[in-house]
Structure 1
Amino acid sequence: MSTVTAAPVSTAPRPSTPTPPRRRSKRMRHRATSTALTIFTWIVTLGFFFPVAWMVFTAFKTEAAAATRTPTIFTALSLDRFAEVLDRGFGVYLLNSLTASVMSTVIVLLLAIPAAYGLSIRPIIKSTDALFFFISTRFMPIAAAIIPIYLLLQGLGMLDNITALSVLYVGMNLPLAVWMMRSFFSEVPLEIVEAAQIDGANFFTELVRVVLPIVAPGIAAAALICFIFAWNEYFLASLLTSTMARTTPPFLGSFVDGRGQFLAVLSAASTLAVLPVVLAGWLAQKRLVTGLAMGAIK
């Protein structure tokens, strides 16, 4: 009886297939493009960040060192400029800006949320016309309406009043907030709202307990933008306030007068003025990132 002997199986590693030159060159081009894009992004980021960093650095200099034609890097640093800013009553202006910005932002959200809800999830008749009306209020420059506003506030005895300034900021930011909140509410799946209605939820429960938790990142984004716009507003605060309701932006402009530009003190005041906005952005950064890609069903 004949036996068949199996051929031995070779365990030697097979030679690797060489990468085609075309694929290799494509990978190299992709890597080079990615590296160049990363470098370009860092250059642009540093270009935007450098003026802010230089402002903070100048705040610690003396006026003589800050006013030199050739920028000085190695110089004596101190906190004297910040003390000088605080001695000029910066805290009062900062408090006025904080009051006007927070008050106007809260009122804007209280008005924009139901308005945007009615224009998206429960659309009203001719909602497009209502949206156009909201955004049309921003077409006219504020300089064209400053005289009627001034005369109206003068007749009401509300010039140099922080409440009147807050109301004007509400009118300035409300159209933008409505448009933003409408886009956020439009991302809410109607199936979730209909399920809540089937379960017997009334309008208040439907809005507060079902919809608002979903659009919370969008609310944070709209609130931060309205707060920044109110905080940085200069035109109305400069013309409609004088002493009692003066805010931070006009106060910063007082450091440039006929005697010259006090760059070190101005940089110190600007550094203190920008801190609340930076802090608000840092606290809301997660909400802001999430608000860019909203949606309840993933």
Structure 2
Amino acid sequence: MARAVSTRRKAGYTIAAWIIGLAIFFPILWTIVTSFKTEAEAISSPPSFMFFQWTTENYSTVMERSNYFRHFWNSVVISLGSTVLGLIIAIPAAWSMAFVPAKHTKNVLMWMLSTKMLPPVGVLIPIYLIFRDVGLLDTKTGLVIVLTLINLPIIVWMLYTYFKEIPGEILEASRMDGASLRDEIIYVLTPMAVPGIASTLLLNVILAWNEAFWTLNLTAAKAAPLTAFIASYSSPEGLFYAKLSAASTMAIAPILILGWFSQKQLVRGLTFGAVK
């Protein structure tokens, strides 16, 4: 029997959720607002939130100074490429861990997760030297490989969690009907885990889109994504806050729009298998 929740408690939870949501979103909102200020108003004290002279000059300056669409296309290729490649590798790996009994499955999962605890700067020099020697430095291919390896533990962990919620009897029935291992994964397992796979894809696109450390250190000009586009507005002469905010807004706008339209699918995938 479900526990009754009083109206007052519901209202309290709702207010708390709005306060937390606004606190999380406020830095993004402040960045968007600052992008419409002049440089003088951006650094004024006390700062003004709404009552100032709104201008789109910063966006015009950013578009004239930088090739936004080239950086945007690089971000699209790198984030989608690394996510798709990660899914191709992770789906069979998560299947084997979820449905093939093994004594050390949990140890393997913990070992994979432990690689995320290593500071990226600890392996920057060897990876940089390898990429320089094999010709992958400042290429989209190199960044796709690096971001795939970085996010692969998260992809495997998420898919493993979703796959464990699928009854193994269904896969056994497909084998009895003559399905090969390939058919079992592609035509039986994958369609049943679409919500989980979709949420994994969306989350890792966001992670790859926002990755700054590797994109700034392994690119110079040709493969530079939007993170490098933002960093270009931090110069030795000082920070141009209004223009930096405009560049940041242009960089996060596509991923904000993607998250807004896919929020239902993302929530559905993240809660996949939570209620039986």
Structures share a fold, TM > 0.5?
Answer: yes
- 1:65 offset after TM fit, Å? 2.0
- 1:36 offset after TM fit, Å? 2.6
- 1:34 offset after TM fit, Å? 3.0
Using the alignment, how far apart are the partners of 2:257 and 2:68 within structure 1?
Answer: 18
How many equivalent residue pairs? 271
Once the two structures are overlaid, the 10-residue window that deviates more, 157-166 or 112-121, is 157-166
Q: Which residue does the alignment assign to 2:248? A: 270
1:1-298 equivalent positions in 2, closer than 5 A: 30-72=6-48, 73-87=50-64, 88-124=66-102, 126-295=104-273
Using the alignment, how far apart are the partners of 2:271 and 2:111 within structure 1?
Answer: 27
Using the alignment, how far apart are the partners of 1:31 and 1:139 within structure 2?
Answer: 43
**Secondary structure in 2 aligned to 1:137?**
helix
- 1:134 offset after TM fit, Å? 2.1
- 1:295 offset after TM fit, Å? 4.2
Structure that is richer in helix per residue: 2
2:156 maps to a residue whose letter is V
What do the CA deviations read for 1:50-83 (whole angstroms, capped 9, x no partner)?
A: 2212211221222222221122222222322112
Once the two structures are overlaid, the 10-residue window that deviates more, 46-55 or 98-107, is 46-55
- 1:273 offset after TM fit, Å? 0.7
For the Cα contact (< 8 Å) 1:101–1:166, is it kept in 2?
yes
1:143 maps to a residue whose letter is V
Using the alignment, how far apart are the partners of 1:297 and 1:44 within structure 2?
Answer: 25
Once the two structures are overlaid, the 10-residue window that deviates more, 175-184 or 242-251, is 242-251
- 1:30 offset after TM fit, Å? 3.8
- 1:143 offset after TM fit, Å? 0.7
Structure 2: state its 5+ residue gaps: none
Once the two structures are overlaid, the 10-residue window that deviates more, 182-191 or 200-209, is 200-209
**Secondary structure in 2 aligned to 1:212?**
helix
For the Cα contact (< 8 Å) 1:214–1:295, is it kept in 2?
no
Using the alignment, how far apart are the partners of 1:31 and 1:174 within structure 2?
Answer: 44
- 1:33 offset after TM fit, Å? 3.2
1:55 maps to a residue whose letter is T
User: What TM-score do the two structures reach when normalised by structure 1?
Assistant: 0.83
What do the CA deviations read for 1:101-150 (whole angstroms, capped 9, x no partner)?
A: 11111100100001101110234563334323322332322111111111
Once the two structures are overlaid, the 10-residue window that deviates more, 107-116 or 90-99, is 90-99
For the Cα contact (< 8 Å) 1:188–1:296, is it kept in 2?
no
2:228 maps to a residue whose letter is P
What do the CA deviations read for 1:248-285 (whole angstroms, capped 9, x no partner)?
A: 21321221223222111111111111122122223332
Larger-Rg structure: 1
User: What TM-score do the two structures reach when normalised by structure 2?
Assistant: 0.90
**Secondary structure in 2 aligned to 1:76?**
coil
Pairwise CA RMSD: 2.3
- 1:296 offset after TM fit, Å? 11
Structure 1: state its 5+ residue gaps: 1-26
Q: Which residue does the alignment assign to 1:6? A: none
- 1:35 offset after TM fit, Å? 2.5
2:239 maps to a residue whose letter is Q
1:169 maps to a residue whose letter is L
